[in-house]
Structure 1
Amino acid sequence: MDRLKITGGTPLNGHVKAAGAKNAISKMLVASLLSDKKCIFTNVPNISEVETTVNLCKEIGMEVKWEKEEGRMEVITKEVKSSYVPLNFSGANRIPILMMGALLGRTKENIIVPTVGGCKIGKRPVDFHIMALEKLGAKVEYRTIKKEQAYFAHAPEGMKGAIVELPYPSVMATENAILAACRAKGQTAIRGAAMEPEVIDLILFLQKLGVVIYVDVDRTVYVRETTQFYEVEHKVITDRIEAACFGMAAIATKGRVFVEGAEQPHMVTFLNKLRRINGGFAVKENGIEFFYQGPLKGGLHLETDVHPGFLTDWQQPFVVLLTQAEGSSVVHETVYENRFGYVKALKEMGAHMELFTQCLGDRPCRFANQNYEHSLIVKGPTAFRGKEIVIPDLRAGFAYVMAALLAPEESILSGLPYLDRGYEHLEEKLQGLGANITRVKAPKEELQLSSS
């Protein structure tokens, strides 16, 4: 039960290297289960989400050599030793559901995976996953085993290519359909697919692995049956979320930070919004420098959406950045209905913001008239004050870190497992930029209380 102690009021300055993308490497590890060939990954982030995914894959039979300090991982699954993922992984993350797509074409056995977990940011049903897998020939059932929920999947007549129509461009449903299609007979067309950089990185990895796969201009991914696989070496793309987070923290604290590895093509929409509020940045050969260049301007309308729209995972720290801008701005969340769970704590720290159930956007979204507080008005500039906060989810966690870096008093953040899922050595990187931040153990009396 570690905590972060942060005393803010100091500009962040210096150089930091963004890690490999959590949402890319975790999916490619599962994708490597498709073949019995060796796969080498570089730029692998040393975070708990990858650790959990590695442990999941080991249960299936994957052999792993992970040089954590070098960011290098070598994996091979010579044979599927088990198609059962223990139920104690239930709720660990959202990766188990992808196991079905990867394993359906590799084993004739029943595939049993626990229910999905991850951050509590709204309903993230698996209906699209199941629909896609069943379209390709799988039979999927939801059962209860020893009071734990699990999914059973098998393909009694084998997987067969089909046309899969996704009602919404869900990233993981797209990835699951792609993985299942790799060994399905014939050709599969996945329409309405997600086009996020992490999905494209998965496609590039699969092409190296031997899969004939390509993307059409109308969000359709075509996949042909693959029987011949090859050894692969693949560099994981930089985490565009982490890169943006350091950039926003630099500007909010009136500092200057060069983020090595930040890739402009993956951050175009974010950089445009940053420019709109007078946030400074300069694209360099091997990264992007972010800096404060004068008072930030409000009056922004921000709407999250699927790629190439504004990423929902940028939204929380960007809201903190908007608290430092002069005037009012509007944020409309269209991806998850419960993404503003962090607002209450920010208001207690001094932020001026109000939630609305109406769609405060250019168009109504799928949460219209459903009583979800999914729009926000932010007024700035805000003088934050220190507070003890419990982190509710990964990206809210960084928003709280940013707010604490702006508050001159001490703030104490608990719930660090959420942060550790997605940020590699966060406190060390922030310390290197001049932040007054330390990780400490909770008092003994609190540890005893939590274990009782």
Structure 2
Amino acid sequence: MAKLLTIQGGKPLQGEVHVRGAKNLVPKSMVASLLGSEPSELHNVPEIKDVDIVTNLLTIHGVKVDRDAASGVMTLDPRETYSAEHSAIDTHAGDSRIPILFCGPLMHKNGEAFIPDLGGCRIGDRPINYHLEVLRNFGAVVDKRATGIHISAPKGLRGAKLELPFPSVGATEQVLLTAVLAEGITELKNSAVEPEIHDLIAILQQMGAIITVYTDRTIRIEGVSRLSGFRHRSIPDRNETASWASAALVTEGDIYVRGAAQRDLTAFLNTYRKIGGEFEVDEEGMRFWHAGEPLKPLVLETDVHPGFMTDWQQPMVVALTQANGVSIVHETVYENRFGFTQALTRMGASIQLHRECLGSNPCRFGQRNFLHSAVISGPSKLTGADIDIPDLRGGFSHLIAALAAKGTSNVTGIEIISRGYEYFIDKIAGLGADISISER
């Protein structure tokens, strides 16, 4: 049965939460273990649905996965890998897009891979054509079937010269996971350079890969014949950290995020301080709180790293509904990421969506009929509402709004949030929120 989360809003969130490894890194690290000829050990692993999905997908391919939830340590042994049944892959993949990243490692191990119909959050067009074109350039044969896509490498995988039309994180990960054991040299231009990409590169280098990252977004990979295992501690989840920071701001609370790291949050922290939030940093984590003065409006554009991350946009929009004036947010990464604002409008927020690029630079969504800019007027008095979670980050942002709003909110679809937020209900309750869970 589906769960219903009831929130009595209007209470400042105060206390401490613990953030572990990055949702955008840990599952990909697990996939990387397939490339090794020896077991790997991954630390700081969170208890989230995406980790469960990859665990199941690895297991049906013969990888032995041992996981200690309390310590966050996982061991992965790929020495007896085999091809899984297509129906089993389809069943365990669910609505995740992660199976596409299994292709390179599985072709190196088994000579073939299968991709079921892919799901994911409804935040914009995220076609897998980047991935398929990358794999074809390495020499893969792509066979589209009624049940999914079968990919093989009858002549092996060879290095290639590639350039992405947009610095896609997923496509960059695909290249890295495929090129490290491909014959010859691979050069990727216009690659993503997010912190999670660099952490994945660190893992692959530890396994024996030879990878060079240049300052012009070019990555060069020299293929090797064999990779060993790795022992690695994942970077903390910067997106979850930003979400809790935004929750402290919107509810006028004070939250200490244990495990948070300042290094990968530069663009977010600058914006956080401009709007009226404050933070402190120590060796164990970071503290975030509302500085006490009215929040200030601002103009904000999302961008690929090192810009303001698209995953930070949604919780920040909730904060901007409480700012004293007019704010403009220009989304340049995902064209349909403002769908979550419909619920905020029902709660009392004043948000207008526009097709124009309301930012300093035109983006690839301009003149294409996408509502990818928002004008937010505040401060707005938010009131409780019935909410159905649309996607991961938008869903957590809805929770933030409901926690700040006056009155009762009934939230459904909360299972989506468990994809990337560990024990989020327990954490919210621990911060003093008035919530209850029931079955529908």
Deviation at 1:84, TM superposition (A): 4.8
Cα distance in 2 for residues equivalent to 1:433 and 1:89:
34
CA contact (8 A) 1:8 1:408 kept: yes
The equivalent of 2:311 in structure 1 is: 313
1:282, CA displacement in angstroms?
Answer: 1.6
1:285, distance to aligned residue in structure 2 (A): 2.2
Amino acid at match of 1:415: G
Instruction: Show structure 1 runs of 5+ residues with no match.
Output: 443-452
Partner of 2:109: 106
SS of residue matched to 1:379: strand
Q: How far apart are residue 297 of structure 1 and its match?
A: 3.5
* Counterpart selection for 2:97 from 94, 99, 109: 94
Task: For residue 438 of structure 1, report the CA deviation from its aligned partner.
Answer: 2.4
Matches within 5 A, 1:32-431: 32-82=33-83, 84-85=85-86, 86-89=89-92, 91-108=94-111, 110-145=112-147, 150-431=148-429
Matches of 1:216 and 1:103 in 2, distance apart? 28
Decide whether aligned partners of structure 1 residues 264 and 378 sit closer, same or farther in structure 2, where only a CA change above 3 A counts: same
Q: 1:411 to 1:305 in 2, by over 3 A?
A: same
Distance 1:9 1:141, change over 3 A: same
- 8 Å contact from structure 2 (residues 33, 229) kept in 1: no
CA distance in 1 between counterparts of 2:416 and 2:202 reads 29
What is the aligned-residue RMSD (CA, Å)? 1.3
| Percent of paired sites with the same residue | 44
Q: What residue number does 2:17 align with?
A: 16
CA contact (8 A) 1:36 1:79 kept: no
Query: Cα deviation per residue 1:141-166 (whole Å; 9 max; x = unaligned)?
Result: 22213xxxx11111121111121111
1:355–1:375 CA contact under 8 A, matched in 2:
yes
CA contact (8 A) 1:97 1:115 kept: no
Relative to structure 1, the CA distance from residue 72 to residue 29 in structure 2 (aligned partners, 3 Å threshold; closer, same or farther) is: same
For residue 22 of structure 1, give the secondary structure of its aligned residue in structure 2.
Answer: coil
Q: What's the secondary structure of 2:303's corresponding residue? A: coil
Q: For 2:232 and 2:295, how far apart are their aligned partners in 1?
A: 41
Q: Cα deviation per residue 1:404-443 (whole Å; 9 max; x = unaligned)?
A: 111121111100121111111111111111111222222x
Residue type of the alignment partner of 1:299: P
Counterparts of 1:290 and 1:402 in 2: how far apart (Å)?
A: 15
* Aligned match of 2:434: 436
Moved over 4 A (4+): none
Contact 2:157 2:183 in 1 (8 A): yes
Counterpart CA distance in 1 for 2:306 and 2:141 is 33
2:3 corresponds in structure 1 to 2
Letter in 2 for 1:87: D
SS of structure 2 residue aligned to 1:4 = strand
Residues of 2 paired with 1:433 and 1:318: CA distance? 20
Distance 1:159 1:345 in 2: 47
Distance in 2, matches of 1:130 and 1:297, equals 45
Q: Which amino acid in structure 2 is aligned with residue 24 of structure 1?
A: L
What is the distance in 2 between the residues matched to 1:296 and 1:284? 27
1:135 shift after superposition: 1.2
> 1:228 Cα shift?
3.1
> How much does 1:346 deviate?
0.7
Quote the Cα distance in structure 2 between the aligned partners of 1:306 and 1:91: 27
Q: Structure 1 stretch 270-279 or stretch 219-228: which is displaced more?
A: 219-228
Q: Secondary structure at the match of 1:276?
A: helix
Q: What CA distance in whole angstroms lies between the structure 1 residues aligned with 2:84 and 2:218?
A: 30
**TM-score, with normalisation over the residues of structure 2?**
0.97
- Quote the Cα distance in structure 1 between the aligned partners of 2:92 and 2:117: 8
Whole-Å separation in 2 of the counterparts to 1:33 and 1:230: 10
Conserved? CA contact 1:298–1:380, under 8 Å: no
Q: What TM-score results when the alignment is normalised by the length of structure 1?
A: 0.94
- In 1, are the aligned partners of 2:160 and 2:187 still within 8 Å (CA)? yes
1:450 counterpart residue number: none
Task: Find the aligned partners of 1:381 and 1:262 in 2 and give their Cα distance.
Answer: 29
User: Is the contact made by 1:37 and 1:230 (CA closer than 8 Å) also made in structure 2?
Assistant: yes
**Cα displacement (A) at 1:140:** 1.5
Deviation at 1:91, TM superposition (A): 4.8
C-alpha contact (below 8 Å) 2:48/2:419 kept by paired residues: yes
SS of the aligned residue for 1:177 comes to: helix
Query: Does the Cα contact within 8 Å between 1:5 and 1:411 map onto a contact in 2?
Result: yes
Aligned residues: 437
Q: 3-state DSSP class of the match of 1:398? A: helix
Unaligned runs of 5+ in 2: none
